[in-house]
A and B are shown apart, each in its own frame.
Chain A
Amino acid sequence: MEYNIVIGLETHAELNTDTKLFCGCSTSFGSEPNTQTCPICLGLPGVLPVINRKAFDHTLKTALALNCEINDFVNFDRKNYYYPDLPKNYQISQNHFNVGNNGSVDIIVKGEKKRIGINNVHLEEDAGKLVHPEASDAGHSLIDFNRAGVPLVEIVTNPDLRSIDDVQGYMHTLRNILQYINVSDCKMQEGSLRFEASISLCRKGAKVFGNRVEIKNLNSMKAVMKVLAYEISRQKELLDKGAQIVMETRLWDEVDGVSRRMRTKEEAHDYRYFPEPDLVPILVDKKSIDRIRETIPELSAMRRQRFTSEYLISDYEAGILTESKPLADYFEECVKLTIVSPKELSNWIINDVLRVLNEKKSHIQDFTISPKMLVDLIEMKSEIGGSIAKEVFSEMSNTGKDASSIVREKNLTPLSNAEELNFIISKIIEDNPKAIEDYGKGKKSALSFLVGQTMKITKGKANPKILIDIFREKLENNL
């Protein structure tokens, strides 16, 4: 049977602040367990949380970038639940007056633009990390509270996603926006981007949707894709048999590749939200909205369009270059530094720079070749020839030295010794009577052949432009 699919996604992104949401403890990843804790993030009695201004501003920035309406009255609520990853037995989150509501994100799916509604954007604190000893008879669990209190922005979509492709397009676009506006590093491997999905199916033509299944514990975009594919086939199978889908929360098991019914904390959905009495509300005025709006850079979709019209590169190339803000910045920095065409710069960045970064599993921010160095090399290309330029490029990327010193050290300067060149050229003319004859008959390609032969013998050290001139002169004189 054919089914319609409806998916909603909640995304949690760790904000890139130095300190936690309500105290001055560090948020840095990978420290010794429980070394970044204090009475506030451990929820000891008598402490008073105070909101981190940067975390709030980042949330406001996110809401604005996602086209939300900003609430002028914002507050925090207590979400009550007993689970050892939260030492207070409640999480400080937002429920009644979120930072932003009714936003949208435009995504491109299979070449078509689609608008995904954003229900709300809000700020909350992360929980600690539970460690379950591998031995099944261990009888205890361990807790590291370093993550407890780290600020998270939660972004909740409307149920507008209708396929796995939609979900992929949305996650990709959202991550791109969060990175562009520099509120989160979105490092999946460090858990700074996590998802929860809800999905329901109904038979095509049916009016009422089936029961909704929520899936938690999705720590990567890949896991989201896998679990949704799994859930769709699981639910289809049940519905085909005439069975009902149970409304429940399931957990994704990465190792076994299955989702399983969750039996713990969330089962009794009774969070008893109430306004957090330890925090005072925030009034957001137009001035602060404008101040934050000014810090939002041109986002990738706009930048991609501008790149094609301003720099005359293809949409495909513009798409690659604007995939990350630092890469797009790198490209534009190069454009500013030189009269070399943006198209040629784009070729170098896409073909050479990205290849090296890929090989080294590195990022453009850490790249050894600065825009200035790259531009200097490309400008030298007409002198040293293309193949030497590529050689110099790979040397530059390994050593971080600039192009001219590598050319000097490795003696890669073009063959300008006229005598030596003349000798080689005469020999080539002698050895290739057929090509000479062809050229005499007006066959232009014969010239390229001769230049190619010379490049081969000189191992690319000769300047092809100069070679063309020399050959032309010699051959015309001989005729």
Chain B
Amino acid sequence: MDIDPREIDNIAKLSRIKLDDAEKVKFKNQLVHILEYVEKLNELNINNVKPIFYTSPLKNVFREDTLKPSFHRSNILNISPSHVNGFFKVPKIIE
């Protein structure tokens, strides 16, 4: 089992983390170990097993469409790194 180094670059990019070359090798090895571990499942014959998406027996959990008070805006803005005029302020997004 091996992982294409470009795969590591892509995963890092999607996760918005910068990895130096040493880290890339380190994480690649860790990911290979994880995948090899999970690979063991392929040894089982599961032709007659239906896929399971949820392990909880719960289903059809709903709430009614009833208004609840929202949080006080200042409480919410104050836990953000930056805000102005009631808005959250973030680095410029280039469209």
Do A and B interact? yes
**Which one of A60-68, A142-150, A406-414 is at the B interface?**
A142-150
Question: Is A26 at the interface (CB under 8 A from chain B)?
Answer: yes
Please tell me which stretch of B19-27, B32-40, B41-49, B60-68 contacts chain A, meaning at least 4 of its Cβ atoms lie within 8 angstroms of it: B60-68
Residues of B with C-beta under 8 A to A36 = 70
A residues in contact with B60, CB < 8 Å: 280, 282-283
How many residues of A are counted as interface, with CB atoms below 8 angstroms from the partner's CB atoms?
Answer: 53
- Which of A23, A82, A263 contacts B68 (CB under 8 A)? A23
Known: A19-B67, A38-B70, A132-B93. Is A280-B56 also a contact (CB below 8 A)? yes
Assess whether A25 is in contact with B68, with CB atoms less than 8 Å apart: yes
Identity of the chain B residue whose Cβ is nearest the Cβ of A52 in the assembled complex: B65
The answer to whether A53 and B90 have CB atoms under 8 Å apart is: no
Kindly state whether residue B59 has any CB partner on chain A within 8 Å: yes
- Does A223 count as interface, using CB distance less than 8 angstroms? no
Report whether A142 and B16 are in contact in the complex, using a CB–CB cutoff of 8 Å. Answer: no
B61 lies within 8 A of A50 (CB): yes
User: How far apart are the CA atoms of A32 and B66 in the complex, in Å?
Assistant: 21
Instruction: Label chain B's interface by main secondary structure.
Output: loop
Least CB distance from A266 to B in Å reads: 12
* Contact call A53/B63, Cβ cutoff below 8 A: yes
- A281→B91 contact, CB < 8 A: no
Q: In the complex, A282 Cα to B61 Cα: how many Å?
A: 8
Do B65 and A19 touch (CB < 8 A)? yes
Residue A454 lies at the interface, judged by CB distance under 8 Å to chain B: no
CA distance A144 to B85 in the complex (A): 11
Contact B70–A51 (Cβ < 8 Å): no
A-B interface pairs (CB < 8 A), number: 131
Distance (whole angstroms) from the CB of B82 to the closest CB of chain A: 8
| CB-CB nearest in chain A for B87 | A142
Instruction: Kindly specify which of A133-141, A180-188, A461-469 makes contact with the partner chain.
Output: A133-141
Tell me, rounded to whole Å, the shortest Cβ–Cβ distance linking A24 to chain B.
3
Q: Looking at chain B, what size class is its interface with the partner chain?
A: 35 or more
Assess whether B66 is in contact with A131, with CB atoms less than 8 Å apart: no
Chain B's closest residue to A53 (CB) is: B62
Give the complex CA separation of A23 and B70 in angstroms: 9
Contact indicator B87/A143 (Cβ below 8 Å): yes
- For the complex, is B1 an interface residue (Cβ under 8 Å from A)? no
B86 interface residue per 8 A CB criterion: yes
Bound complex: CA A281 to CA B59 (Å): 5
A371 and B87 CA atoms in complex are apart in Å by 46
Closest A residue to B76 using CB positions: A37
When each residue 62-81 of chain B gets 1 if its CB lies under 8 Å from chain A and 0 otherwise, what string results? 11111111110100110000
A282 to B58, CA, bound (A): 9
The residues in A between 1 and 52 inclusive whose CB is less than 8 angstroms from any CB of B are: 17-19, 23-26, 32-39, 42, 50-52
Determine how close the nearest CB of chain A comes to the CB of B89; give it in whole angstroms. 5
Q: CA A378 – CA B16 in complex, angstroms? A: 70
CB-defined contacts of B64 to chain A, threshold 8 Å: 52-54
Q: Are B84 and A142 in contact (CB under 8 A)?
A: yes
B62 lies within 8 A of A56 (CB): yes
CA distance A142 to B89 in the complex (A): 5
Q: Determine the chain B residues whose CB is within 8 A of the CB of A130 once the complex forms.
A: 93
A84: interface (CB < 8 Å)? yes
Which residues from chain A contact B90 at a C-beta distance below 8 Å?
A: 84, 140-143
The smallest beta-carbon distance between A261 and chain B, in angstroms, is 11
CB A145 to nearest CB in B, in angstroms, measures 7
In the assembled complex, A275 has its CB within 8 A of some CB on chain B? yes
Q: Is the CB of A264 within 8 A of B95?
A: yes
- The residue that A37 contacts in the complex, of B56, B65, B71, B85, with Cβ under 8 A, is B71
- Smallest Cβ-Cβ distance to A48: which chain B residue: B61
Task: Contact check, B70 vs A82: say whether CB atoms are below 8 A apart.
Answer: no
- From A34, A51, A82, A138, give the contact of B87 (CB < 8 A): A34
CA distance in complex: A263, B54 (Å): 36
Nearest 4 Cβ contacts at the A-B interface = A24-B68, A142-B87, A54-B65, A53-B62
A-B contact pairs, 16 of them (CB 8 A): A18-B66, A34-B88, A35-B70, A53-B64, A84-B90, A132-B93, A141-B91, A142-B87, A144-B86, A263-B94, A263-B95, A264-B95, A268-B13, A280-B61, A281-B54, A282-B60
Q: Which residues of B contact A (CB under 8 A)?
A: 10, 13-14, 16, 53-54, 56, 58-71, 73, 76-77, 82, 84-95
**Interface set of A (CB-CB < 8 Å, partner B):** 17-19, 23-26, 32-39, 42, 50-56, 75, 80, 82-84, 96, 130-132, 138-145, 251, 262-264, 268, 270, 272, 275, 279-283
Contacts beyond the supplied A18-B65, A52-B62, A52-B65: 19 A-B pairs with Cβ under 8 Å? A19-B66, A24-B68, A24-B69, A26-B67, A26-B70, A34-B77, A37-B71, A37-B76, A53-B63, A54-B64, A82-B14, A142-B88, A142-B89, A143-B87, A145-B88, A264-B93, A264-B94, A280-B54, A282-B60
